[in-house]
Amino acid sequence: MTTNPLPLLHARDLPTTGEELRSATSTVNALVAGLRASPSATDSVRLRQALAPDHYETAGPQEAPSLEDAFSEHDAFFGVARAHGPADLFLRALLVAEIDTALDLARTASSLSPAERSTLVSGGSALLCHRRARHGSGNLVRPPEDRTAPPADEHTAQLRWKSGHRLFFAHLQAITVTCGCAVHSRTAAEQAAYLEYTVLFCTSAALAMRHAADFAPELYVRSIRPTMTPPHVGSGFSGLQTRDHYHLVQSLDGLGTRLLPDVVEGTTYRKFEEAMERLYAAHVHVCRRFGGDTNASLRMEASKEDSGTTGAERARQYAGLRVRKLGGRRSAA
């Protein structure tokens, strides 16, 4: 897997309408014309070379200095570069992150089921083909067959932790994009169609979290957690420094009040709310897997908080607050 940073568009450059997203998919479809879907590493590398941008403009600071410093530290740790450029860069980065995950799965095993592994790397294909991708059928990126050896050393665990997070960030961007397209659509049918994509990306983002943590807890304690403490990073390193989640939360604020009533009352919106709950539950799962049921988070440790609350419980509290930001205007039952 390449060590070059993944160029993720800054939030201000992400597509916000269906027209912008369709233009981006047309550009990317032209780039990958003639490249077939295959689980082989050779074909995946060729596809990645076709999609990775030769150059891009680095996005300058856009937030208040304290926020920008925290976001930039988080980006640098996980190997992300913030880019300014055309909307198709969003989709190219998403596909590159999916390819990197497929290559990781080719090296080491996963506890995800075959269907879950397919969903994990199918979102970019779904947007390119304007359809919901199911179980790898027609996907541009495909996971390989099962591997028997899980990440068993510090190096492979580090690769999975960081590449899995990069895919997670790309999925967060896709949630922001598809929600924005839904809000800017004029008909209930179009809004519901974009929310179907959002459900897919909520599901794949939750799987990306599980994938990122898919190695033995002792490897996390021995190798990964220490790299997220001083002097490697600032004190209190936290998922709250995730730039893409910050912008996603802003875009979701009161989402239900900005969609047509028929959509908010419909089954697709309910599936979306359930998918968001599963997404945050996946974060709680990672906290619990790596000792969060009994220990404080790095942020809580740095602040010397002594509330008796564990890292996993604090993650559950944040999850509830964020899901409630969706708002809505359903009729009373």
pLDDT digits (tens, 9 = 90+) for 263-297: 999 999 999 999 999 999 998 889 888 887 767 66
| Helix, strand, coil share of the chain (percent; to 5) | 60, 5, 35
Per-position b or e across 216-229, b if 16+ CB within 10 A of its CB: eeebbeebbeeebe
**How many domains does the chain fold into?**
1
Q: Which domain holds residue 311?
A: 6-324
To which H or E segment does residue 313 belong? helix 311-324
* 318: in domain: yes
User: What pLDDT sits at residue 61?
Assistant: 82
Q: Is residue 237 within 8 Å of residue 298, measured between CB atoms?
A: yes
For the chain, the C-alpha Rg in angstroms (whole number) is 19
The side-by-side arrangement of strands in the sheet containing 80-84 is 6-9, 80-84, 57-58
What angle do the packed helices 267-289 and 188-212 form, to 10 degrees?
10
**In whole angstroms, what is the distance from residue 265 CA to residue 322 CA?**
20
206 is a domain residue: yes
Mean pLDDT of the chain: 87
Percent of the chain with pLDDT over 70: 83
Task: Say whether 300 sits in a helix, a strand or coil.
Answer: helix
Give backbone dihedrals phi and psi of 306, rounded to 5 degrees, phi first.
Answer: -130, 60
Would residue 332 count as lying in a domain?
Answer: no
In a domain, 333, yes or no: no
At residue 332 the predicted structure's pLDDT band, cuts being 50, 70 and 90, is very low
CA distance 128 to 137: 13
* Residue 33 is assigned to a structural domain of this protein: yes
307 to each of 4, 210, 301, how far by Cα in Å?
Answer: 41, 28, 11
Phi, psi angles (nearest 5°) of residue 199: -60, -45
The b/e string for 113-130 (b: 16+ C-beta within 10 A; e otherwise) is: eeebbbbbbbbbbbbbee
Nearest to 144 by CA among 40, 56, 42, 289: 40
Beta bridge partner(s), residue 38: 141
- Segment of 22-36, 56-70, 175-189 carrying the highest mean pLDDT: 175-189
Q: How far apart are CA 48 and CA 52, in angstroms?
A: 6
Q: Is residue 330 part of a domain?
A: no
d(CA 205, CA 175) in angstroms, rounded, equals 9
331 domain residue, yes or no? no
In contact, 293 and 312? CB cutoff 8 Å: yes
CA 14 – CA 8 distance, rounded (Å): 9
Of 275, 239, 94, 281, give the one whose Cα is nearest residue 174.
94
- What pLDDT, in 10s, does the model give residues 76-135? 999 999 999 999 999 999 999 999 999 999 888 889 998 999 999 999 999 998 765 444
Per-residue model confidence as pLDDT tens digits over 1-55 = 456 899 999 999 999 999 999 999 999 999 998 886 666 778 889 999 999 988 8
In a domain, 329, yes or no: no
Average pLDDT, integer, range 157-173: 96
Residue 331 has what pLDDT?
47
33-37, 172-176, 316-320: lowest mean pLDDT where?
A: 316-320
Render pLDDT for 207-257 as a digit per residue (tens, 0 to 9).
999 999 999 999 999 999 999 999 999 998 988 899 999 999 999 988 999
